[in-house]
Amino acid sequence: MYLGIDIGTSGVKAVLADAGQRVLAQGSAPLTVSRPQAGFSEQNPEEWWQATVQAIGQLPAALRSQVRAVGLSGQMHGATLLDARGQVLRPAILWNDGRSAAECVELERREPAARAITGNIVMPGFTAPKLLWVLRHEPEVFRRIATVLLPKDYVRWRLTGEKVSDLSDASGTAWLDVGRRDWSDAMLAATGLDRSHMPRLVEGSTACGTLTGGVAQLLGMPQAVMAGGGGDNAASAAGTGVVRPGQAFLSLGTSGVLFVVTDRFRPNPDRAAHAFCHCLPGRWHQMAVLLSAASAYDWVLAATGGGDPVALAEQAGRRGLRADSPLFLPYLSGERTPYNDPQARGVFFGLTPATARVDLALAVLEGVALAFADGLDVLLEGGGHVDEISMAGGGARLAYWGELLAAALERPLLYRQGSEVSAAIGAARLARLALTGETPESVCSAPPVQQVIEPDPALARLLAGRRATFARLYRDLKPSFVEFAP
């Protein structure tokens, strides 16, 4: 058995896979998010640990006793601060916390080469600016920091006693020299830290310890080998078989991600693309990120009376997109790729007295698809290439959305088995690689395809024409968004 654990924002998932890569059991436990002020987002690291124990405890004892290796996936960027005794100094500041916007500017001022080193714009979601915020606002906490860990790596420390991170997760800290796959002394110095504050770095498929005797007894498992693991998107790629250059997946979760594997470090920071290490050796990846994807559809559903999301999407599909259909800018929480504009807002355009609920839903589905097309262009500008795209995330269940996405991206979309737990499956695969030393391609294969949506040429032509208006609307409205900024 190989155990994969995914430390998400809303919950922890655990899966057990056998040598034939069959998922034999799953467990889960919820997590809560604290928002002590507007724009703040925090969690208590102890909750990650308790939820991990609970999720693993739901797996059959007979299978747990056969686990030979464990892999971890997790939400990225969260700042978990430990003192010299290993005590947590404050609640962890999460990826979706926006308090450190001023510190991002300050960090790039302190280290002008930041974008060249990290391959990314320094954003409030990243870890490093959070530490500058702590230095400025909680100096007594900052002085006591001995170690900074990412969320999954805190759980690893509780499991093994080892302070380790993998390169894909570390890429999102703004402390990593992503091209060299090593900590950057210059970026650490810019936040008043050095390598002594950082965990040891390993590849995601490398063994980096074993479960302690006490933890193994608590969990009813042997002292299994621990793998480096991966950040949630990189682990999902391993679970979806997206491991070779040009392979990609699109995730329609609360936010949206278009992830493509690259053969080398291919940054495009000025267009707000992410360039990170993959969780597998010798590979990198690019990501375009939308801050509102399935959450935009959830919003329009709730704002127009609720009901069945699948039924409304089916109704939108029967309605069909027309040249005079309303347009929607899906920037409800600002936007990342390609604009890096936290002040952007959602906009409906082209409403008439005949506009109905279904037209608003259709506009939201199209708007997210056009935003992904913007993101794809940015990734291609960075020098990569994108072939077929696998689908993941809750929004993937809406068939007409897939038709719009395939046409907007002008590429086939592949719907695969197990996409809802792909990060945990990827973590289990990394565990197997750490134990066996097999090649990544032999283990991280693509799950069976359940459905393929090919781009419809007529719909692609219609979307291409409407996309010009979509882009112009953002440019025209950008100065006005400032007036609505909080």
Residue 443: the pLDDT is 96
Which residues are catalytic, by number? 232
> Can you give the pLDDT at residue 318?
96
Residues 310 and 202 in one domain: no
Number of domains in the chain: 2
Examine the domain organization and report whether 301 and 436 are in the same domain.
yes
Q: What's the confidence (pLDDT) of residue 486?
A: 63
Same domain, 247 and 223: no
pLDDT of 38: 81
Predicted local confidence at residue 457, as pLDDT: 97
Please tell me whether residues 236 and 347 are part of one structural domain: yes
Q: Does 303 share its domain with 220?
A: no
User: Is there a contact between 106 and 191 (Cβ–Cβ < 8 Å)?
Assistant: no
Q: Are residues 197 and 266 in the same domain?
A: no
Q: Both 334 and 482 in a single domain?
A: yes
Same domain, 46 and 172: yes
Same domain, 364 and 394: yes
Mean pLDDT per 10-residue run, the chain (486 residues)? 95 95 95 90 97 98 97 96 98 92 96 97 94 98 98 98 98 98 98 98 98 98 98 94 94 89 91 95 94 92 94 95 96 89 92 97 98 95 84 80 96 85 93 96 91 95 97 96 78
Q: Give the pLDDT confidence score for residue 336 in this predicted structure.
A: 87
- The full 3-state SS of the chain, as one line of letters, equals CEEEEEECCCEEEEEEECCCCCEEEEEEEECCCECCCCCCCEECHHHHHHHHHHHHHCCCHHHHCCCCEEEEEECCCCEEEECCCCCECCCEECCCCCCCHHHHHHHHHHCCCHHHHHCCCCCCCCHHHHHHHHHHHCHHHHHCCCEEECHHHHHHHHHHCCCEEEHHHHHHHCCEECCCCEECHHHHHHCCCCHHHCCEEECCCCEEEECCHHHHHHHCCCCCEEECCEEHHHHHHHHHCCCCCCCEEEEECCCEEEEEEECCCCCCHHHCCEEEECCCCCCEEEEEEECCCHHHHHHHHHHCCCCCHHHHHHHHHHHCCCCCCCEEECCECEECCCCCECCCCCEEECCCCCCCHHHHHHHHHHHHHHHHHHHHHHHHHCCCCCCCEEEECHHHHCHHHHHHHHHHHCCCEEEECCHHHHHHHHHHHHHHHHHHCCCHHHHCCCCCEEEEECCCHHHHHHHHHHHHHHHHHHHHHHHHHHHHCC
Last residue of a domain, one of 173, 197, 228: 228
Q: What is the CATH number of the domain that holds 121?
A: 3.30.420.40
Q: Quick one: 354 and 337 in the same domain? A: yes
Q: Which amino acid is at 113?
A: A
Q: Does residue 259 sit in the same domain as residue 370?
A: yes
Please identify, among 174, 199, 228, the residue that sits at the C-terminal boundary of a domain: 228
Q: Out of 228, 252, 275, pick the residue that ends a domain.
A: 228
The whole-number pLDDT of residue 334 equals 86
Model pTM? 0.90
- Residues of the domain holding 394: 232-486
Both 156 and 214 in one domain: the answer is: yes
